């Protein structure tokens, strides 16, 4: 062999080596999916009084797309939304297939809601979940569908060769178990395997390109985004969304929220019984502890509320969000150190999907207590009495108590007037006393889903079960352990398992069979009865085995198409008006001439209804700093933590309204000259929607 041939072979080996260093094609994307910020009820607390009045933090959809060397692909989206509806996913897949053909399908796209309780509802297409929103809201549905689609589209267009790393860290002082007595129902030997009664571990997937430049990070942590309580009326992505903003700000220097290449997401896990209100539940008037079993307070001591670590819900949201972000940043900073405990994710990609008819599910399971095979079956959906009691994050009404095991003749009359359960339903759900026989209710359409999607994706040696509801701590642990054990037994690989909560459809809660017996809120909201979790364990065991063996499964029965049956009591914007001497955008309240750090600027504009234009990828406001005589720089938008956009209807008949803008001047604000601008659209009384804008006079900020 001559020297030239040897040189050629050497170059070829180098080229092959360099090429193999990139395990996957990776893309990340983000898109604005904010729903109507005013006049629409929020989804989560089922509080008819919680109607949007403005905007604090915008909603975003954050996606990663990964493809292996065999051109197998998966997409994962985490959405700042209460949960996910199957109608939304179906619409997203439809739009993706219009653009990309069969590259994306029901099997390989996971859409997971963060579970914020501070965002508009009306997109789930099941009456029980939309009734407190006064029905279906097309504007919310479209905002979510388009934002999710755009996030996947952008991730697809940004795909580059790269690597994926998995790492974990412990985050303390960010969550507690809100039903600790139910958790104690689980076997002592099982509980002894865990230090805490909630998961304290944050799991991170870090995405980098060929040169190890970071593209983004997705983080899973078990906590309810309920730092913002049921009195909040400003759209908010809550603690998980704020954590994302903090993480993205670290890597997207000098960018306003929602902008920049780095994508940082915080995703839901087994959060069913997990609260961020770590100061625990107390009686609101007396400050005394609530009853630990019923979460009730004695007469004249108020309601049982759990609170966060801050002096109000905004500060609590910030504290919890910062603790989550600090955990994620700790992992990212450790990635370049020698003692980094993470590992590279390697292997092929694959996904499997199966619709399950839960009420008609019949199967078997091994009972370790009796050492026999038990038959398992599902029930028609139903909600128990303790569902109406609410949780310590947001109490219910009418004197209902958590842990209720007996029914009430008066409430049974109300229930039976709506739709009565059958004796079979009552026996099937026992010991749950049925308050609402939702599975028997069909007018004007389904009240709760009966057919649910189950989905499992393989990202190399990581398995991601996508579950259609809120798994409690132990329910999630059992599923992760089952999927991991079945995976390792099927192929000679050790798998890490990441549970993706609230994915693809919402079917309320999933407790363990032991927790179900206690009938606290989570158990009363386990809608398919005491075998719900056991059924999912059975289904995901079969999905895991089939996926890893390369087998196919039947798609299962399709959920009903109900888009054409949706009803809504939400009225649209009729028209906007303004005083004769004050046009849209007129500044009714100007800022002061001078402010200091930590002051709050308050300004007011004559406004149109924000529902006329949701300003996706834009903003209702900007805070701008003067750079020179000709240039102003945007330093904050309505997606920034330090700003609040509040809308007020000032005259119903004439259609007058005001936009109040607040800016809390943070400690890192540079001294200088500033102004605030407002952007909006108004609806003309004779038809048509037209843009307007307004601008305040300038003001100065000094350090002292």
Residues with active-site annotation: 275
Output DSSP code: residue 187: -
Report the candidate in 345, 351, 350 with the shortest Cα–Cα distance to residue 168: 345
Grouping H, G, I as helix, E, B as strand and the rest as coil, residue 275 is strand
- Which residue reads 């190890």 in tokens? 212
- Which residue reads 């180098």 in tokens? 14
How many residues appear in the chain?
704
Instruction: In whole angstroms, give the CA distance from residue 221 to residue 247.
Output: 14
Task: Kindly tell me the burial class for residue 40, based on how many C-beta atoms sit within 10 Å of its own C-beta (0-12, 13-18, 19 or more).
Answer: buried
Q: How many CB atoms lie within 10 A of CB 482?
A: 18
Output DSSP code: residue 312: S
Please list, in sequence order, all residues whose beta carbon lies within 8 angstroms of the beta carbon of residue 272, skipping any fewer than 6 positions away: 469, 470, 471, 472, 473, 475, 476, 501, 509, 510, 511, 522
Whether residue 346 contacts residue 451, with contact meaning beta carbons closer than 8 Å, is answered with no
Instruction: In whole angstroms, give the CA distance from residue 479 to residue 533.
Output: 9
Token pair, residue 649, equals 């209807």
Handedness of CA 696, 698, 702, 704 (dihedral sign): negative
Handedness of CA 315, 318, 324, 328 (dihedral sign): negative
Output DSSP code: residue 531: T
Strands 462-466, 496-497: parallel, antiparallel or unpaired by DSSP?
A: parallel
Report the candidate in 138, 156, 74, 139 with the shortest Cα–Cα distance to residue 112: 74
Q: How many CB atoms lie within 10 A of CB 271?
A: 29
Q: Is the peptide bond before 484 cis (omega within 30 degrees of 0)?
A: no
Output DSSP code: residue 440: G
Instruction: In whole angstroms, give the CA distance from residue 512 to residue 540.
Output: 15
Whether residue 129 contacts residue 506, with contact meaning beta carbons closer than 8 Å, is answered with yes
């Amino acid at each position: 062999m001559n020297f030239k041939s040897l040189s050629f072979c050497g170059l070829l080996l180098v080229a092959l080596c360099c090429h193999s260093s990139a395990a996957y094609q990776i893309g990340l994307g983000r898109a604005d999916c904010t729903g109507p910020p005013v006049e629409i009820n929020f989804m989560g607390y089922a509080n008819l009084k919680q109607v949007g009045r403005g905007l604090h933090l915008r909603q975003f959809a954050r996606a990663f797309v990964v493809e292996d060397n065999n051109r197998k692909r998966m997409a994962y989206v985490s959405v700042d939304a209460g949960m996910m509806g199957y109608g939304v996913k179906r619409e997203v897949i439809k739009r993706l297939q219009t653009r990309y053909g069969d590259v994306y399908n029901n099997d390989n796209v996971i859409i997971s809601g963060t579970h914020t309780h501070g965002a508009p509802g009306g997109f789930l297409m099941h009456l029980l979940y939309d009734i407190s929103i006064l029905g279906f809201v097309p504007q919310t549905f479209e905002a979510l569908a388009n934002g999710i689609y755009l996030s996947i589209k952008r991730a697809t267009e940004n795909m580059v060769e790269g690597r994926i790393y998995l790492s974990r860290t412990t985050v303390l002082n960010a969550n507690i178990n809100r039903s600790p007595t139910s958790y104690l129902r689980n076997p002592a030997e099982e509980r002894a395997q865990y230090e805490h009664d909630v998961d304290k571990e944050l799991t991170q997937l870090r995405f980098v390109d060929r040169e190890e430049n970071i593209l983004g990070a997705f983080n899973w942590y078990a906590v309810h985004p309920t730092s913002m309580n049921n009195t909040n009326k400003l759209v908010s992505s809550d603690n998980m969304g704020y954590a994302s903003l903090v993480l993205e700000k670290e890597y997207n220097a000098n960018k306003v929220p929602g902008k920049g290449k780095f994508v940082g997401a915080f995703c839901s896990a087994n959060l069913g019984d997990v609260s961020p209100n770590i100061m625990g539940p107390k009686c609101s008037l007396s400050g005394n502890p609530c009853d630990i079993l019923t979460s009730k307070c004695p007469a004249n001591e108020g309601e049982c509320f759990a609170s966060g670590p801050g002096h109000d819900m905004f500060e609590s949201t910030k504290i919890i969000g910062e603790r989550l972000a600090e955990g994620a940043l700790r992992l990212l900073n450790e990635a370049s150190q020698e003692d980094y405990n993470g590992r590279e994710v390697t292997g092929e990609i694959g996904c499997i999907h199966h619709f399950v008819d839960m009420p008609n599910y019949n199967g078997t399971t091994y009972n370790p207590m009796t050492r026999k095979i038990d038959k398992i079956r599902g029930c028609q959906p139903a909600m128990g009495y303790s569902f109406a009691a609410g949780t310590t994050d947001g109490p219910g009404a009418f004197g209902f108590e958590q842990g209720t095991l007996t029914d009430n003749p008066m409430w049974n009359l109300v229930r039976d007037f709506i739709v009565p359960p059958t004796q079979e339903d009552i026996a099937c759900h026992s010991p749950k006393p049925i308050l609402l026989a939702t599975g028997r209710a069909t007018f004007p359409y389904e009240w709760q889903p009966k057919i649910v999607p189950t989905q499992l994706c393989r990202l190399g040696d990581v398995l991601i079960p996508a579950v259609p509801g809120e798994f409690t701590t132990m329910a999630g642990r059992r599923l992760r352990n089952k999927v991991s054990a079945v995976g390792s037994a099927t192929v000679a690989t050790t798998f890490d398992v990441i549970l993706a909560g609230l994915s693809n459809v919402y079917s309320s809660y999933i407790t363990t069979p032991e927790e179900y017996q206690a009938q606290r809120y989570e158990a009363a909201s386990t809608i398919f009865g005491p075998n719900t979790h056991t059924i999912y364990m059975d289904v995901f065991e079969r999905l895991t085995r089939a996926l890893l063996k390369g087998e196919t499964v039947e798609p299962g029965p399709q959920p009903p198409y109900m888009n054409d049956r949706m009803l809504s009591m939400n009225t649209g914007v009729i028209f906007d008006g303004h005083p004769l001497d004050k046009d849209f955008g007129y500044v009714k309240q100007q800022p002061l001439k001078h402010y200091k750090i930590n002051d709050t600027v308050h300004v007011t504009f004559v406004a149109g209804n924000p529902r006329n234009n949701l300003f996706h990828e834009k903003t209702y406001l900007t805070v701008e700093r003067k750079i020179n005589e000709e240039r102003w720089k945007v330093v904050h938008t309505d997606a920034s933590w330090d700003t609040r956009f509040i809308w007020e209807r000032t005259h119903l008949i004439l259609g007058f309204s005001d936009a109040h803008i607040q800016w809390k001047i943070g400690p890192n604000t540079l001294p200088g000259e500033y102004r605030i601008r407002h952007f909006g659209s108004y609806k003309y009384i004779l038809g048509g929607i037209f843009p307007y804008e307004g601008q305040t006079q300038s003001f100065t900020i000094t350090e002292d």
